[in-house]
């Protein structure tokens, strides 16, 4: 199995090759600028546990580091480096004044009590407080974390700094000046990008068949907004399996079932398939992998029937599998474009926190749409005009172009 970091490095090298950048730039851009690796001891009901944790700051050529914090028992330092590198590209592509970072704790949060989770979160932010700040590094949630965890972290950081440092962490609760769209921003962005690519390739999104792998926050909100846009969500999966209805699923009812039973397969109106990966192989117009990395591989790409893949998860498509899918004329909207709604909403929250001036939900949504539409148009136009192999090639090329120019101007190369 190709690791996520190997995949990301191949993607970077592809962009460097496309733009014919010198070896010096490759040496510079492939290495993280800073890695903080800590061990956090916590007394739990089962005795003392020591949790391994990281904060990777990959690159800050364009501004403060920006990236989420994930709580995941199988996370590795390699994964964290890869995710930080993806954030660098994502922020550059969307013309945000940020570099890329990522943080993680090796933990299954479901195995901790609320009190233990709060203690771990506060201790982690204390451990990384020496390298973060509103103009240095701005964390946010990721897999396994949420706005409540961000609230504990910002409270602890404010105690350390001696003042309310709200702009240092984003995706906070509304009561702590969070963004009113942040909860659904990533899923909304995925749906919005699906709508835009649908208009280019499918003559619109209305009544087009969509399959979604994963029904966490991103998958759930992607489904919700796609239904609002007129698409027909025919399949969704979670760890219990896949539910399928060729006439479309009732997303409101699906969410009720998930909330009540924690199993999508308890949904009655459709077929139930035990395999969670079946959602990848459904006959549909748009496939949205919204779960984890490396789900589309050389072992299963030939089962995919979708015309368009919109990457809601980070790095769901292996590099070699993408080449095979491109040979089948599949359009792949890369993660650094498709799932950028979350970091864009975080950016909007950050600038409002810095200025102590706040917008309502609709204003935030319109600003997000404006940024995402501009990024999409740049990518699609470059893809068409330069006859590039893929939308990813266009996106990576644009991201690295901005980073290369700034690196040169600042005197790094």
pLDDT, tens digit, for every residue of 55-108?
Answer: 999 999 999 999 999 999 999 999 999 999 999 999 999 999 999 999 999 999
Catalytic (active site) residue 102 = yes
Residues of the chain above pLDDT 90, percent: 84
Please pick, among 23, 49, 90, 102, the residue that the annotation labels catalytic.
102
pLDDT given for residue 409 in this prediction: 96
Alpha helices by DSSP H, 102-171 = 114-128, 147-161
Pairing of strands 241-244, 271-273: antiparallel
Let me know: does 273 contact 244? Beta carbons within 8 Å: yes
Within this chain, domains 4-9+30-169 and 185-338 share the same CATH topology: yes
pLDDT given for residue 1 in this prediction: 66
Let me know: does 125 contact 165? Beta carbons within 8 Å: no
138 DSSP assignment: E
Q: Which residues contact 40 (CB under 8 A, 6 or more apart)?
A: 50, 51, 53, 105, 120, 123, 124, 127
pLDDT given for residue 305 in this prediction: 94
Tell me: pLDDT of 2 over 90.
Answer: no
Residue 216 CB neighbours (<10 A): 17
Element (H, E) at 65: strand 65-71
Q: Report d(CA 343, CA 334) in Å as an integer.
A: 15
Q: Report d(CA 310, CA 386) in Å as an integer.
A: 22
User: Is 361 exposed, middle or buried (CB count within 10 Å of its CB: 0-12, 13-18, 19+)?
Assistant: exposed
CATH of domain 4-9+30-169: 3.40.50.10860
- Please provide the average confidence, as pLDDT, over all residues in the chain: 94
pLDDT tens by residue, 127-144:
999 999 999 999 999 989
Q: Report d(CA 9, CA 188) in Å as an integer.
A: 28
Domain ranges of the chain: 4-9+30-169, 185-338
Q: Report d(CA 165, CA 150) in Å as an integer.
A: 12
Please give the model's pTM, rounded to 2 decimal places.
0.93
Number of alpha carbons in the 13 Å side-chain half-sphere of residue 312 = 31
Tell me: pLDDT of 266 over 90.
Answer: no
Per-residue pLDDT, averaged over 115-132, amounts to 97
The CATH T-level fold of domain 185-338 is: Rossmann fold (3.40.50)
pLDDT given for residue 177 in this prediction: 96
């Amino acid at each position: 199995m190709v690791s996520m970091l190997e995949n990301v490095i191949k993607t970077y090298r592809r962009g460097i090759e496309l733009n014919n950048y010198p070896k010096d730039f490759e040496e510079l851009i492939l290495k993280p600028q800073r890695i903080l690796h800590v061990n956090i001891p916590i007394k739990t009901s089962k005795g003392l546990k020591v949790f391994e944790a990281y904060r990777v700051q990959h690159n800050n050529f364009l501004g403060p580091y920006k990236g989420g914090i994930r709580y995941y028992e199988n996370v590795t330092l390699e994964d964290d480096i890869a995710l930080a590198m993806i954030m660098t590209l994502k922020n550059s592509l969307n013309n945000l004044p940020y570099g890329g970072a990522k943080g993680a704790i090796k933990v299954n949060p479901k195995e901790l009590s609320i009190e233990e989770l709060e203690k771990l979160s506060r201790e982690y932010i204390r451990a990384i407080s020496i390298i973060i700040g509103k103009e240095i590094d701005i964390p946010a949630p990721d897999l396994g974390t949420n706005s409540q965890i961000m609230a504990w972290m910002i409270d602890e950081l404010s105690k350390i700094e001696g003042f309310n440092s709200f702009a240092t962490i984003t995706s906070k609760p509304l009561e702590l000046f969070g963004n009113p769209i942040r909860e659904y921003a990533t899923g909304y962005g995925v749906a919005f990008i699906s709508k835009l690519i649908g208009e280019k390739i499918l003559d619109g999104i209305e009544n087009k068949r969509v399959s979604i792998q994963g029904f966490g926050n991103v998958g759930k909100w992607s489904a919700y907004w796609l239904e609002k846009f007129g698409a027909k969500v025919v399949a969704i999966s979670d760890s219990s399996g896949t539910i399928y209805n060729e006439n479309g699923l009732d997303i409101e009812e699906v969410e009720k079932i998930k909330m009540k039973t924690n199993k999508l397969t308890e949904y009655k109106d459709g077929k139930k398939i035990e395999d969670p990966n079946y959602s990848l192989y459904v006959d549909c117009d748009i496939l949205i992998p919204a779960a984890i990395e490396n789900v589309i591989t050389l072992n299963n790409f030939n089962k995919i029937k979708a015309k368009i893949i919109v990457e809601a998860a980070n790095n769901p498509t292996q590099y070699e599998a993408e080449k095979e899918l491109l040979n089948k004329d599949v359009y792949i909207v890369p993660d650094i474009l498709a799932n950028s709604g979350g970091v864009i909403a975080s950016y909007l929250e950050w600038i409002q926190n810095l200025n102590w001036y706040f917008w309502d939900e609709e204003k935030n949504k319109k600003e997000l749409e404006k940024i995402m539409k501009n990024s999409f148009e740049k990518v699609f136009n470059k893809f068409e005009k330069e006859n590039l192999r893929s939308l990813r090639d266009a996106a990576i090329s644009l991201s690295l172009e901005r980073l290369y120019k700034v690196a040169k101007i600042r005197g790094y190369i």
